Amino acid sequence: MPIQSTNPATGEIVFTYPELAPEQIQSKLAIAEATFQFWKEAPFSERAAKMKNLAGVLRGQSRRWAEIMTREMGKPITAAMAEVEKCAWVCEYYAENAERILAAETIATDASESFVRFEPLGSVLAVMPWNFPFWQVYRFAAPAVMAGNVALLKHASNVPGCAEAIQETFAAAGFAEGIFQNLLIGSNQVDGIVRDPRVKAVTLTGSEYAGRKVAEAAGDEIKPSVLELGGSDAFIVLEDADLEAAAKIGAMARLQNCGQSCIAAKRFIVVEKIADNFIELFKQNFEATLVGDPMDEATQMGPLISEKSLQEIERQVKESIKKGARLATGGQRLERPGSFFAPTILTDVKPGMPAYEEEIFGPVAAVITVRGADEAVRAANDSRFGLGSSLWTGNLERAKALVPRIEAGSVFINGLVKSDPRLPFGGLKKSGYGRELSSYGIKEFVNIKTVWIK
């Protein structure tokens, strides 16, 4: 069955590729295993030189890579260009820091000498999503490859052109074929690859369902795994917050990537004393957002990934309104070709509504009104997810005191939640486990080996 991508802004077919045959998959696994035997011995200087080449390849043809993203999943071209630049950044970060992070650590014990080494595991499979089709891959591949592992990519089936382009960048940077390989396969092939003894670990960014399946296979085979799953991030606005800044950044946080982001702010928890003022400013920012052709550099928000996704957003909005939520703006698809949905704000959101209970993977903000900071924290934690969170207040000491009470992998105070190569990224509860990026991320897929000498 062919693997095909469709432009969500036009409905046109973008790329079509044949799915790998079983013997081709076996060949790629064998290549990865053979390549690992010499790549694990490569000095950090060699790995770093190629990783810096990779950053250069990305920047050298940034418009080309960005256009593939925009055509396959509707990301505005300016955002796609920024994504390419961020990928170059993560390559440079690990090229410059991997050797330091993975240096042996001496520990004083009763031995004459004792230390800890960090050694690569082998082939690591990455099952990646479509919403940040370049960034999600590079934030896995850069640390894994710099640690001496080799990478196998099973990308989302609706962005095969991005997957092929990423493989091309590694080749152009001078990496041997087996260091990074794209597997053009359907999701039904993933279980068998996870269970193959040549694959030593797996990482997945995606849905809860996919995460459970991958974790089940990895656990059954006793292999390490990292999961980054859904999110319904809280954006808490206390009574002493800068409302204009909170409303502006809040709109960006909710509408980035058409709301199709695990760490997009989704539940806006606002103290009732300032709720009306915040909602009015919030609404102004939503209604000023330019929705249109993602290839137009003026466009701020493009289409949803598919008609199916749009219909799911419609269901969640309609059911929430039926249960008592109020529509402040938006709430409907836009009358134009493609999967476009208006930036939408729902207020008076309460438990039991889809906007409160579910992750809405689209441009819909749920405003939840509370009486004060304690109630805001309780509402923030009243979710099966725990990925990111944002807290807005003029009292930084109070903010720091609230941080330990918020159940999330990160808390951003007076700022937009975002990933950064220098900081660990991940969540808890149904948002997954393990960490990506920073020194913590690169150590997820290494053998932490104790050496004791007498």
**What amino acid positions are annotated as catalytic residues?**
228, 262
Nearest partner of 48 among 142, 176, 179, 153, judged by Cα: 142
What single-letter DSSP state applies at residue 171? H
What single-letter DSSP state applies at residue 67? H
Whole-number Å distance between alpha carbons of 181 and 199: 13
Nearest partner of 11 among 434, 368, 389, 337, judged by Cα: 337
Whole-number Å distance between alpha carbons of 38 and 148: 9
CA distances, 126 to each of 179, 195, 249, 261 (Å): 13, 14, 32, 18
Per DSSP, the residues of 174-198 read T--GGGEEE----GGGHHHHHHSTT
In this structure, which amino acid lies at residue 400?
A: K
Residues in the chain: 454
Strand order in the sheet with 113-120: 105-106, 113-120, 446-453
Q: Quickly list H helices, 294-363.
A: 307-322, 354-357
Specify the pairing of strand 432-433 against strand 225-228: antiparallel
Whole-number Å distance between alpha carbons of 244 and 241: 9
Whole-number Å distance between alpha carbons of 75 and 33: 35
Whole-number Å distance between alpha carbons of 137 and 165: 11
Q: Which residues 6+ apart lie within 8 Å of 218 measured at CB? A: 194, 201, 202, 224, 225
